[in-house]
Every structure is written in structure tokens, then in C-alpha cells.
């Protein structure tokens, strides 16, 4: 039998709670095997109260790298020895590299979002964006858009104060243009639809099929490009499809954030098409 692990195998993984639904163990392990690397990627379910011990475990067990997912992405930052610029702005890390016990945090969600978006929108810079949500995922999306050179981002959120916090935190970001972010309370979002080319949902609304819509989706027009970072086709995307819009779910973002993490860990180019195939073949894991 050809068993693809041995005493030299390097261990990577994902830390989250829950983590059973994660697609990363499959597509990252596929990427390692395909690239001929003696590495494996495992799920680690860690309760919030155990995060600190889990970080000690990364060091003690020489786990070479981890992805971090809900609910630890923000909390992990205080346990790291060094953080990248994206982590500093976004305030959350989804990728950690372990260099002999020295932990460096990155955020590849923002890269993942932009690379995914480029599949349906090759030139991003000249579009007007309407981003719904002002949590960690929204910050990663907005960071990516500002870095891409986008000039206008309307941000709609239920809690408007969180948008003001983003505006304050992103003030020093290079390319920052005065008034680049326009804050809008969620209940006034419909007035802003006509000023937007691309609508991006970064909230968790739509994850459950019976979630009430964020706004009246019938107001979406064919000219809109609609992106939902949830991994499946939500009601928002179903409406976009019916209207004839170009649309995208969160799988491309997931793919490219994973590809970037692979590259950070291994220094090799990620086999993106292999990873994509594994993701698409396993759309509905148990
Ligand atoms: P994440 O890191 O995934 O972005 P988060 O930081 O908890 O998670 O942010 C969740 C986002 O979804 C927020 O924008 C939140 O709105 P509030 O800031 O007003 O809480 C939004 N959200 C979650 N449930 C929502 C709902 N039922 N209606 C509208 N927005 C919702």
C-alpha cells in the first residue's frame, strides 16, 4: 500500500469552531499531494476558551502553518509574534506561518476576494461598489478594493457605527482618498442601488434558506454584478440569476484565499485548478 504520510510529514491545519463543514482539509491536502510535498492538512476544532492553548500547541508540536476561521480570526491576532499589513488594517488573520515557534499572521481573504472577483470582472478599478456588512469579512473586502484602486465604496450596515470605525481605521491606508467610503444605514440601501455597479454581501444573511432578505431583492437590475461571499447560491444570488445579472458565490474567494495560504507556507505556486476541481467535486460535504 502507498500511504502518503510518514515520519517526515509536515502538518498543517485549520483552527475553527465548528470546523467539520470546512472544505480546506480536502483541497489543501490535494494541493500538497499534487505538488509532491510531504505535507498534510487537518481540521482542529478548538473552543474559544482553548485558543491560547491551541496556539501553544502549534509551537510545541511544530505544526508548520494553520488557517484560522470563525470565531477565532480576530482573537488569534493577539497571540502572534508578527502580523502583515493586511492583518493590521483588517484586524483579523486567517493564515499563520510557524517559523520555528515564531508565528506570523497574514490575511489572505482580501486577496481571495479580489482574485475571485477578477474571474467575472477583469477590471475592478473603475466600478462603483456597494458592500453590505461591516464585520471582519467586510473589512477584508474593502481593504482589497481600496488596494485595487477603487474610487467609491458605499458600505451599508445595520449598525452604522461599525462603518465609521472602518473609515477611521482605513484612513492611513495607501491610496486612501477622501470620502472613498460612503456609509449608509441598511434600511436606506435601496436608494443607493442605482449608484452601484457591483453589490457584495459580506454578512451572514442568506446562510440559512429562511433568512429574511437584507433588502427588497426585486430592486436589483440586470446591470448589477452581484457577489455573495457565502459559499452557496443564496436567495440574493438566485434573484440575481433570474434578473440576468453576472453573479458569483463565495467559492472562488475560498479557493484563492487557500491558494495564497499554500504559497505563503510552501513558497511554491499553488495548483489552483486542482484545488478548484476538488472544491467543485465536494460542494456538499457531510
Ligand atoms: P464576519 O467576520 O463574518 O464579517 P461579523 O464581524 O460578526 O462576522 O459581522 C457580521 C456582519 O453581518 C455585520 O455586518 C452584521 O451587522 P451588524 O454590524 O449590524 O451586526 C451583519 N449581520 C448579521 N446578521 C444580520 C442581520 N440579521 N441583518 C443584517 N445584518 C446582519
Q: Is the peptide bond before 28 cis (omega within 30 degrees of 0)?
A: no
Residues 117 and 244 in one domain: yes
Number of domains in the chain: 2
* Residues 229, 120 share a domain: yes
pLDDT of 2 reads: 84
Q: How far is the C-alpha of 152 from the C-alpha of 130, rounded, in Å?
A: 9
Which pLDDT does position 172 carry in this prediction? 86
The predicted pLDDT at position 283 comes to: 67
Beta carbon of 164 within 6 Å of any ligand 1 atom? no
Instruction: Tell me the three cell numbers of residue 99.
Output: 517559523
- Ligand 1 atom 9: the closest Cα is on which residue? 135
Handedness of CA 137, 198, 151, 175 (dihedral sign): positive
Residue ranges of the chain with per-residue pLDDT less than 50:
285-286
| Domain containing residue 221 | 111-249
Q: Any idea what DSSP says for residue 188?
A: G
Q: What are phi and psi of 64, to 5 degrees?
A: -80, -25
Cell of 266: 510552501
| pLDDT recorded at residue 184 | 98
Question: Is residue 138 domain-resident?
Answer: yes
Report residue 129 as a C-alpha cell: 461598489
| Interval between CA 283 and ligand 1 midpoint (Å) | 24
Q: Are residues 101 and 219 in the same domain?
A: no
- Global confidence as pTM: 0.96
Q: Is the CB of 69 under 6 A from ligand 1?
A: no
Ligand 1 pocket member 137 (CB < 6 A) = yes
Contact 206 CB / ligand 1 (< 6 Å) = no
Any idea what the CATH number is for the domain that residue 195 is in?
A: 3.40.50.720
pLDDT in tens, 129-178: 999 999 999 999 999 999 999 989 999 999 999 999 999 999 888 656 77
Residue 90 lies in a domain: yes
pLDDT at residue 286 in the model: 35
Bridge-based pairing state of the strands 95-99 and 65-68: antiparallel
The CATH number of whichever domain residue 83 belongs to comes to 3.40.50.10860
Residues 29 and 78 in one domain: yes
Q: Do 36 and 103 have their domain in common?
A: yes
Burial of residue 195 (number of CB atoms within 10 Å: 0-12, 13-18, 19+): exposed
Amino acid at each position: 500500500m502507498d500511504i502518503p504520510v510518514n515520519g517526515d510529514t509536515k502538518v498543517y491545519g485549520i483552527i475553527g469552531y465548528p470546523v467539520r463543514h470546512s472544505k480546506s482539509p480536502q483541497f489543501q491536502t490535494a494541493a500538497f499531494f499534487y505538488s509532491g510535498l510531504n505535507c498534510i492538512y487537518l481540521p482542529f476544532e478548538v473552543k474559544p476558551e482553548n485558543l491560547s492553548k491551541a496556539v501553544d500547541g502549534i509551537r510545541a508540536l511544530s505544526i508548520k502553518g494553520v488557517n484560522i476561521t470563525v470565531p477565532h480570526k480576530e482573537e488569534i491576532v493577539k497571540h502572534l509574534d508578527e502580523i502583515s499589513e493586511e492583518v493590521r488594517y483588517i484586524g483579523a488573520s486567517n493564515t499563520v506561518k510557524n517559523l520555528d515557534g515564531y508565528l506570523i499572521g497574514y490575511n489572505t481573504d482580501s486577496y481571495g476576494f479580489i482574485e475571485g472577483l477578477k474571474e467575472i470582472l477583469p477590471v475592478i478599478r473603475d466600478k462603483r461598489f456597494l458592500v453590505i456588512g461591516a464585520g471582519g469579512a467586510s473589512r477584508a473586502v474593502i481593504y482589497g478594493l481600496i488596494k485595487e484602486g477603487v474610487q467609491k465604496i458605499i458600505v451599508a450596515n445595520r449598525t452604522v457605527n461599525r462603518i465609521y470605525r472602518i473609515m477611521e481605521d482605513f484612513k492611513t491606508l495607501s491610496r486612501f482618498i477622501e470620502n472613498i467610503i460612503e456609509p449608509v444605514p441598511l434600511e436606506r440601501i435601496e436608494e443607493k442601488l442605482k449608484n452601484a455597479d457591483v453589490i457584495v454581501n459580506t454578512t451572514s444573511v442568506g446562510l440559512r434558506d429562511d433568512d429574511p432578505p437584507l433588502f427588497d431583492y426585486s430592486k436589483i437590475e440586470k446591470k448589477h454584478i452581484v457577489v455573495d461571499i457565502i459559499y452557496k447560491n443564496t436567495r440574493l444570488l438566485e434573484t440575481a440569476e433570474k434578473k440576468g445579472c453576472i453573479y458569483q458565490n463565495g467559492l472562488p474567494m475560498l479557493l484563492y484565499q487557500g491558494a495564497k495560504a499554500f504559497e505563503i507556507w510552501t513558497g511554491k505556486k499553488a495548483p489552483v485548478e486542482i484545488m478548484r476541481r476538488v472544491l467543485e467535486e465536494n460542494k456538499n460535504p457531510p
